[in-house]
């Protein structure tokens, strides 16, 4: 594909994407294809000869599009948001066009230095501790996801807890323990498996029934018991905005206990952390200054395309010590000088894309004011939605909702809640997901799509209330609009 062909087809692709966003609201949120339907719509064998790009766009419309669940749809309220915006898409396109492999500073100095600056910018916007900035002993890096952040935090914690012995002797069964709330994302358990200490090393903390936050007293009990049994506490994970309910753990108290026993304290603020761009929401940072590492995802709620997880450490030496291997073919003068960051030493894979470009385009396009308006708008919509739930005697709120996640259930029980969720999702009018709260089946309403307006939240509430079971003694549906 020569430059002129690329120019012509590139314009067609940009037009297709722009048209997609214009028609997005008319599409059902959740894909309705049956298993195997997409594959059956495409040839079983690869083409023997090259084909024109027009056919790709045609198949995209007729086969691929019906098989998509539309994460950018304004009525997508499931999981957590997965941002995609014009500035970020263009930044990603530039990164793809440049084709940089930024594993070392030497392989593209601008890729490394822009990433370092963007993590410093973001730390400043979120009012994170100065110790996370690059000019300190710490620093930031872009990971693929919060799951990667949890894994590298665990590997660094094991390295520190073992004084580096894990790199030569392995982790050994039954030597280390990891602690986290029962509300914490499953990535922590997966990290334990990948790191080789196994699921048996994971300790789940009880939660406060009112706040659903981890109970420090239970952590203290588990830490003492493990030490008495000859195990080494390696990592404590505190959640700031847990996936199921948005629960906020007491970071400072968990950190005090973790450090008392020599464990690493990692804060997983994947979804909620970016809310700290708003001064009035920076209370969510309480205790973060005592963390050894911290992550939040601009690709969830801060207008940046996946993948882009911001991960900071207070002391980069443990992270680099755990992950750095320097074969001869990677040696170079800049690395040997010790004056540069080589981000290959801050992550699991060697190779890395120029992901800082899309974060750069987003921060420059929106500025602090635009980012704050985005977050504040969604928080306000969630509070309004929660007020509608509270005013309708068919439903009850099951968790605090200070940000943009509302967790609720039918008062008629789990079966009624489950059937309601299935009916709303099957309608194509909205897409929501579920969780368990103290054993109860609950619906999650996560507001965060870039395109969501109040009318979409109203429409979702109408879809819910029109299908909800009536209480035994009758009920009055709250009116909106």
Residue 94: CATH number of its domain = 3.90.1150.170
Q: Are residue 105 and residue 240 in the same domain, yes or no?
A: yes
Asked, for residue 160, whether it belongs to a domain, the answer is yes
**Mean pLDDT over residues 166-176, rounded?**
76
Whether residue 474 has pLDDT greater than 60 = no
Which candidate, 258, 263, 289, 450, places its Cα nearest to that of 373? Answer: 450
Residue with tokens 């039918």: 410
Q: Is residue 158 part of a domain?
A: yes
What is the CATH classification number for the domain harbouring 257? 3.40.640.10
pLDDT band of residue 469 (cuts 50, 70, 90) is: confident
pLDDT for the residue numbered 173: 62
The pLDDT assigned to 183 comes to 81
Mean of all residue pLDDT scores within the chain:
93
One domain for residues 122 and 192:
yes
Task: Answer whether residue 334 is part of any domain.
Answer: yes
DSSP 229: T
Domain C-terminal end among 320, 354, 388? 354
In a domain, 55, yes or no: no
Kind and range of the H or E element at 204?
A: strand 202-205
Report the pLDDT averaged over residues 430-453. 95
Q: How far is CA 61 from the centre of its chain?
A: 29
Q: Is the pLDDT of residue 481 over 80?
A: no
Give the mean pLDDT of 149-159: 93
Task: Flag whether pLDDT at 371 surpasses 60.
Answer: yes
Q: Same domain for 114 and 73?
A: no
Q: Walk across the sheet containing 405-410 and list its strands.
A: 395-397, 405-410, 440-446, 433-437
Do residue 138 and residue 23 come from a single domain?
no
Question: What distance in Å separates the CA atoms of residue 444 and residue 442, rounded to the nearest whole number?
Answer: 7
Nearest to 184 by CA among 126, 235, 248: 248
Contact present, 138 and 314 (Cβ < 8 Å): yes
310 with 424, same domain? Answer: no
pLDDT value at residue 441: 97
- Measured CA to CA, the distance from residue 356 to residue 203 in angstroms comes to 35
Most confident segment among 341-350, 397-406, 462-471: 397-406
Q: Is residue 348 part of a domain?
A: yes
159 Cβ neighbours under 8 A, 6+ residues apart: 166, 167, 318, 321, 322
Query: Is residue 411, in this structure, part of any structural domain at all?
Result: yes
Higher pLDDT, 477 or 412: 412
Q: Could you give the 3-state DSSP secondary structure of residue 93?
A: helix
CA distance 197 to 187: 14
Whole-angstrom distance, CA of residue 459 vs CA of residue 427: 12
Predicted model pTM: 0.92
d(CA 465, CA 459): 10
Do 221 and 339 share a structural domain? yes
Same domain flag for 392 and 253: no
Shared-domain flag, residues 341 and 383: no
What is the C-alpha separation between 439 and 283, in angstroms, rounded?
29
Rounded CA separation 270/336 (Å): 34
- Residue 410, C-beta contacts closer than 8 angstroms, at least 6 positions apart: 394, 395, 416, 417, 420, 468, 469
Average pLDDT of span 292-320 = 96
Among candidate residues 173, 210, 180, 179, the one with its CA nearest the CA of residue 195 = 173
Number of structural domains the chain divides into: 2
Q: Percent of the chain beyond pLDDT 70?
A: 98
Residue with tokens 């870039």: 450
**Which of 330, 354, 378 is the endpoint of a domain?**
354
Separation in Å, CA 68 to CA 18, 19, 86, 380: 17, 16, 20, 29
pLDDT surpassing 80 at residue 479: no
Q: What pLDDT shows up at residue 61?
A: 94
- Residue 60 pLDDT > 90: yes
Indicate the pLDDT class of residue 472, thresholds 50, 70 and 90: low
Per-residue confidence band for 396, with pLDDT thresholds at 50, 70 and 90: very high
Q: What CA–CA distance (Å, rounded) separates 291 from 132?
A: 10
pLDDT at 473 over 50: no
- Write out the residue range of the structural domain in which residue 373 sits: 1-30+69-99+367-481
Identify the DSSP state of 142.
Answer: E
For residues 212 and 208, what is the distance between their CA atoms, to the nearest angstrom? 5
Has residue 42 been placed in a domain? no
Which one of 354, 377, 392 terminates a domain?
A: 354
Distance CA 342, CA 331 (A): 11
Residue 50 lies in a domain: no
Of 398, 409, 402, residue with least CA distance to 432:
409
| Residues 109 and 236 occupy one common structural domain | yes
Q: Which two tokens stand for residue 76?
A: 């997508």
Q: What is the dihedral of CA 389, 434, 437, 480, to 10 degrees?
A: 0
Q: 3-class SS at 244?
A: coil
For residue 234, is pLDDT > 70?
A: yes
Three-state SS at 69:
coil
Shared domain for 133 and 274, answered yes or no, is: yes
Q: What is the mean pLDDT of residues 306-328?
A: 92
Of the pLDDT bands very low, low, confident and very high (cuts 50, 70, 90), residue 202 is: very high
Residues 132 and 270 in one domain: yes
Q: Is 29 exposed, middle or buried (0-12, 13-18, 19+ CB in 10 A)?
A: buried
Among candidates 453, 454, 466, 388, which has minimal Cα distance to 427? 466
Q: Residue 93 pLDDT > 60, yes or no?
A: yes
76 with 126, same domain? no
Instruction: Reply yes or no on whether the pLDDT at 463 is more than 50.
Output: yes
């Amino acid at each position: 594909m020569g430059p002129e062909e690329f120019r012509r087809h590139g314009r067609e692709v940009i037009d297709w994407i722009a048209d997609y966003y214009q028609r997005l609201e008319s599409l059902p949120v959740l894909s309705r294809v049956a298993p195997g339907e997409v594959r059956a719509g495409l040839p079983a064998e690869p083409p023997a000869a090259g084909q024109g790009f027009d056919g790709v766009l045609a198949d995209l419309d007729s086969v691929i599009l019906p098989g998509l669940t539309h994460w950018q749809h304004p009525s997508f309220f499931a999981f957590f948001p997965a941002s995609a915006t014009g500035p970020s898409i263009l930044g990603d396109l530039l990164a793809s066009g440049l084709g940089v492999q930024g594993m070392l500073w030497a392989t593209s100095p601008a890729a490394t230095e822009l990433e370092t600056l963007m993590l410093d910018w973001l730390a400043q916007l979120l009012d994170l501790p100065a110790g996370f900035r690059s000019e300190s002993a710490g620093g930031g890096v872009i990971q693929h996801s919060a799951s990667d952040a949890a894994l590298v935090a665990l590997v660094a914690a094991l390295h520190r807890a073992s004084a580096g012995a894990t790199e030569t002797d392995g982790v050994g069964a039954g030597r280390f323990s990891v602690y986290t709330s029962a509300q914490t994302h499953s990535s922590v358990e997966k990290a334990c498996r990948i790191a080789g200490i196994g699921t048996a090393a994971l300790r789940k903390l009880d939660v406060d029934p009112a706040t659903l936050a981890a109970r420090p007293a239970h952590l203290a009990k588990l830490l003492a018991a493990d030490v008495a049994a000859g195990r080494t506490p390696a990592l404590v994970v505190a959640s700031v905005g847990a996936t199921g309910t948005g629960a906020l753990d007491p970071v400072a108290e968990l950190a005090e206990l973790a450090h008392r026993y020599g464990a690493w304290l990692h804060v997983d603020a994947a979804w909620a952390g970016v809310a700290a761009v708003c001064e009035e929401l920076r209370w969510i940072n309480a205790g973060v200054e005592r963390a050894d590492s911290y992550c939040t995802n601009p690709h969830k709620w801060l207008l940046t395309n996946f993948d882009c997880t911001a991960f900071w450490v207070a002391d980069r030496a443990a992270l680099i010590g755990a992950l750095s291997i320097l074969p001869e073919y990677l040696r170079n003068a800049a690395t040997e000088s010790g004056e540069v960051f080589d981000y290959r030493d801050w992550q699991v894979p060697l190779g890395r894309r120029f992901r800082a470009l899309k974060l750069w385009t987003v921060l420059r396009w929106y500025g602090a004011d635009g980012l704050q308006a985005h977050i504040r708008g969604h928080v306000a919509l969630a509070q309004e939605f929660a007020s509608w739930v509270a005013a309708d005697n068919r439903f009850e709120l099951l968790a605090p909702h200070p940000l943009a996640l509302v967790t609720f259930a039918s008062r008629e029980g789990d079966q009624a809640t489950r059937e309601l969720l299935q009916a709303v999702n099957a309608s194509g009018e909205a897409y929501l997901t579920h969780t368990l709260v103290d054993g109860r089946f609950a619906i999650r309403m996560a507001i965060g799509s870039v395109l969501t307006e109040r009318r979409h939240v109203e429409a979702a509430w109408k879809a819910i209330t029109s299908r909800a079971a009536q209480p035994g003694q009758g009920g009055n549906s709250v009116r909106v609009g």
